[in-house]
Amino acid sequence: MKKILFALIALTLFIACNPDNAEPQIAKDYTAENEKEITDYIAKNNLTAQRSDTGLYYIINEPGEGTQPTATSNVTVAYKGYYTSGKIFDQSTSAGVSFGLNQVIKGWTEGIPYFKTGGSGVLLIPSHLAYGSFDYRGIPGGSVLIFDVKLISVN
């Protein structure tokens, strides 16, 4: 009985000390919403895209002729990132940015290896392959991210 009473008191103190009695954030599943948003975007813009088993959509404008990276390669990529609204949230210079594909969002880890060096195209990434259901550095949770990419090199 003492243990139950102690547990209730501890729980009450924990709730009372929780700032603004804030509810813990629970991840929301945006899969169906993201799928519709992507397919609507593809239709509206008259695009032809491939869909992977994970839900990543990709368009290969230029396949490239050089080395094809793997999910653990270090690459240099020039890119522009934007939402389906067209609003740009990030962009590299034409010289690109170098990084390991195992250090970026899952959509890039999966999508960049569809290209060979010199290749370019578009990645349409649902939130579960990006930042999930939570806000991240100004990107709202649940966002579909679109990237125009050019694979400059596999380093």
Radius of gyration for the alpha carbons in the chain, expressed in angstroms and rounded: 21
Annotated active-site residue in 82, 83, 89, 99: 89
Verify whether residue 53 is a known catalytic residue.
Answer: no
Annotated active-site residue in 42, 112, 131, 146: 131
Verify whether residue 105 is a known catalytic residue.
Answer: yes
Verify whether residue 131 is a known catalytic residue.
Answer: yes
Residue with tokens 């349409």: 124
Annotated active-site residue in 90, 99, 139, 148: 90
Verify whether residue 147 is a known catalytic residue.
Answer: yes
Alpha helices in 18-101 (DSSP H): 31-44
CA 146 to CA 124: how far, in whole Å?
5
Annotated active-site residue in 79, 114, 115, 125: 79
Q: At CB < 8 A and 24+ separation, what contacts does 19-24 make?
A: none
Verify whether residue 99 is a known catalytic residue.
Answer: no
Annotated active-site residue in 57, 58, 147, 152: 147
- The set of catalytic residues is 79, 89-90, 105, 131, 147
